Amino acid sequence: TDILDDQDLVNTLDKCKKTAREIQGRVSESEQMQNKIESTRKKYLPVATRGAIIYFIISDLTLLNCMYNFSLEMFLNVFKTTVFSLGNSYPQPGPGGRRVGVQLQHRSPR
């Protein structure tokens, strides 16, 4: 018998090809999304690095003297002041980053 005469086999192979094309499309979409997320993450990296440095410096001050205990509110004020002092030193992160900046501005003491 000819393998092409087996209609069930031909239908199954057609379904497999269709599924493979769908998977390939989804993988491509996933790669594009991953690249977009990575580029956005890189835009926030300088602010995150600055925040981590500030946090650990303030945290380590207690090693010098126990009177150097700071609240989360104080840390956030120092962080906001530092971020705003950067001005345009770093590229704008984009629409989401502008929203974060506006929220920080709105909540920072004047």
Q: CA-CA-CA-CA torsion for 7, 10, 16, 22, nearest 10 degrees?
A: -100
Whole-structure pTM value: 0.50
- Which of the four pLDDT bands, split at 50, 70 and 90, describes residue 61? confident
Mean per-residue pLDDT of the chain: 79
Q: Of 92, 88, 85, nearest to 108 (Cα)?
A: 85
Residue-wise pLDDT for 5-41, tens only, equals 888 888 999 999 999 999 999 999 999 999 999 999 9
